[in-house]
Amino acid sequence: MSNPDSFIDEVTEEVRRDRLFAAMKRYGWIAVLLVILLVGGAAWREYSNAQSRSAAQALGDEILAALEADEAQARVAALSEIDAPTPGAEALIAMLTASEAARAEDMEAAALSLESVAANGEVPEIYREIASYKAMSQAGSGLSIDERRAGLESLAVPGKPLRLLAEEQLALLDIEAGDRLAAEERLRRIVEDSEATAGLRQRASQMIIALGGALDAS
């Protein structure tokens, strides 16, 4: 019985082998295509990453070269000539331009650069809010008290990351408007806020004392 069984096993194995070879002839191109796609995809990702790194390095070199100019106005001009490849890079350059324009005492140009970031819906919200905060809080921007107050109040709502800094600037606007009591009340809320940093509490406390108020003994 062993010989017939062995013969049947050999025939079965041969049939399996023939079917395997037939399947490879029929569908083998699919496996080859998958290998090509995998290898090609990996190569393309590596190429894209290298291109991105090269572009980022080139942009960084351009920014550093622009900031090496001796005069602030020259740095502003050099930054304005940089072609930003992405909205994020554009926002970074605009904020650097605003900083250099402020150093050159061109507050209107600084405000315009910051407002361009604040109005750019393609950049992350936190960058837009930082730009808006800086535009509303810097002196000499050409904005009225009401305009600055409206902008800061939009940042001073619960959940906003710059809420307490905006509250501090609103207190300064209250002082500028001659409303000492409103400023002191706002500053006390900052001091009592659990999310306020030590530095912010200290500044708020010092302003309360400067306004003639007194701090709680606790």
- Window from 8-17, 49-58, 119-128 with minimum mean pLDDT: 8-17
Q: Using N-to-C axis directions, what is the helix angle for 87-103 and 2-67, rounded to 10°?
A: 20
pLDDT tens for each residue of 80-127: 888 888 888 888 889 889 988 888 888 888 888 888 898 888 888 888
Q: Nearest-CA neighbor of 188 among 173, 166, 203?
A: 203
Please state at what angle helix 87-103 crosses helix 107-118, rounded to 10 degrees.
160
Q: How far is CA 185 from CA 158, 170, 182, 190, 214, in A?
A: 17, 11, 5, 9, 12
pTM, whole model, 2 decimals?
0.64
Neighbours of 86 (CB within 10 A): 13
Comparing 31-40, 59-68, 178-187, 204-213, the range with the smallest average pLDDT is 31-40
Radius of gyration of the chain (CA): 33
Q: Quick one: what percent of the chain has pLDDT higher than 70? A: 79
Tokens describing residue 209: 């004392």
pLDDT of residue 70 exceeding 80, the answer is: yes
The domain limits of the chain are 52-135, 146-218
